[in-house]
């Protein structure tokens, strides 16, 4: 059949398209008939699978491969695709994504969830987006490498730029100039997020690296320890967020007017163990 599994990143969508392709040659080939052929005891469960409402069990890879006459490499791709959809962590999803890319000859697959995760966790990506606001911005990986204090190779920067375009965070305007597609990107507050955790770790590492490299007049570092009432914590967090928003509204340059890009971060965390957790 002309349908190629290597262009898919969702097993349900592939099965749905495969069924529609089969029906072109046999109008009487129903989902019920295919479910019976594949060994499903219930037509309803298979229908839910191709609708993306239930995961595809790996035990059906062989009968599906036989039914669709898949080559061994195509069968392995289908099995890996199932593993990708079942993966619970981004580390696992990234692992299976790389395997799928290796199995897909010449295909440029889009895995939005993984790409968005990698985009969010790396400060390099946000820095590239902001660089487009510089008066002298040049959309070239080598220029970006020379302009940034963040350590990254030309290859890493080019890969990041490609991802930013794919995710719609960078775009070309009517004059062909590269611009950021969204003014500000926000994430949910007070929600545990694996990518955000990695982002803040990377920003702190970057701050530690630059503290001895930049002149005092070019940067500002402050830190203090203070005792607080636990009941005041929500108000403190609210005021810190308001401070950040106020700084942005007052001092962020208009597009094409910025001279430099700065990273502003605030941290507020406990230096003492929670007494209740110690009991």
Q: What is the pLDDT of residues 61-112, one digit of tens each?
A: 999 999 999 999 999 999 999 998 888 887 788 888 888 888 888 776 666 6
Is 52 exposed, middle or buried, given 0-12, 13-18 or 19+ CB atoms closer than 10 A? Answer: middle
Q: What is the pLDDT of residues 226-279, one digit of tens each?
A: 999 999 999 999 999 899 889 988 998 888 889 999 999 888 989 888 766 655
Answer for the pair 122, 202: CB distance below 8 angstroms, yes or no. yes
Q: What's the CA dihedral at 204, 89, 152, 177 to 10 degrees? A: -100
CATH class, range 5-105 = mainly alpha
Q: What is the pLDDT of residues 118-171, one digit of tens each?
A: 677 888 988 998 899 898 999 999 999 999 999 999 999 999 999 888 888 888
206-231 mean pLDDT: 92
d(CA 250, CA 234): 24
Residues of the chain with CATH 1.10.260: 5-105
d(CA 123, CA 150): 8
What does the pLDDT read at residue 2? 63
What does the pLDDT read at residue 1? 46
d(CA 127, CA 180): 11
Q: What is the pLDDT of residues 175-202, one digit of tens each?
A: 888 888 765 455 555 545 677 788 888 8
d(CA 163, CA 118): 9
């Amino acid at each position: 059949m002309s349908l190629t599994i290597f262009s898919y990143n969702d097993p349900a969508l592939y099965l749905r398209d495969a069924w529609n392709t089969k029906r072109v040659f046999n109008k009487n080939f129903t989902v019920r008939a295919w479910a019976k052929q594949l060994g499903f005891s219930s037509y309803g469960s298979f229908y839910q699978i191709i609708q993306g409402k239930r995961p595809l069990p790996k035990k059906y890879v062989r009968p599906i491969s036989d039914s669709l006459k898949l080559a061994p490499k195509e069968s392995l791709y289908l099995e890996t695709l199932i593993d990708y959809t079942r993966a619970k962590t981004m580390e696992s999803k990234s692992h299976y994504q790389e395997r799928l890319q290796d199995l897909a000859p010449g295909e440029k697959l889009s895995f939005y969830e993984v790409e968005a995760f990698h985009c969010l966790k790396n400060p390099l990506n946000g820095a590239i987006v902001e660089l487009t606001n510089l008066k002298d911005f040049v959309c070239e990986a080598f220029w970006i490498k020379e302009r940034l204090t963040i350590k990254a190779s030309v290859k890493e920067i080019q890969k990041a730029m490609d991802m930013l375009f794919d995710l719609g965070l960078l775009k070309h305007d009517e004059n062909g100039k590269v611009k950021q597609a969204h003014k500000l990107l926000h994430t949910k507050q007070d929600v545990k997020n694996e990518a955000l955790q990695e982002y803040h770790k990377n920003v702190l590492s970057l701050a530690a690296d630059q503290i001895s490299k930049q002149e005092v007049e070019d940067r500002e570092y402050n830190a203090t320890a203070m005792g607080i009432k636990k009941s005041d914590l929500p108000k403190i967090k609210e005021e810190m967020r308001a401070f950040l928003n106020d700084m942005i509204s007052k001092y962020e340059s208009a597009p094409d007017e910025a001279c430099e890009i700065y990273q502003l971060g605030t941290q507020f965390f406990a230096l003492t163990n929670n007494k209740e957790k110690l009991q």
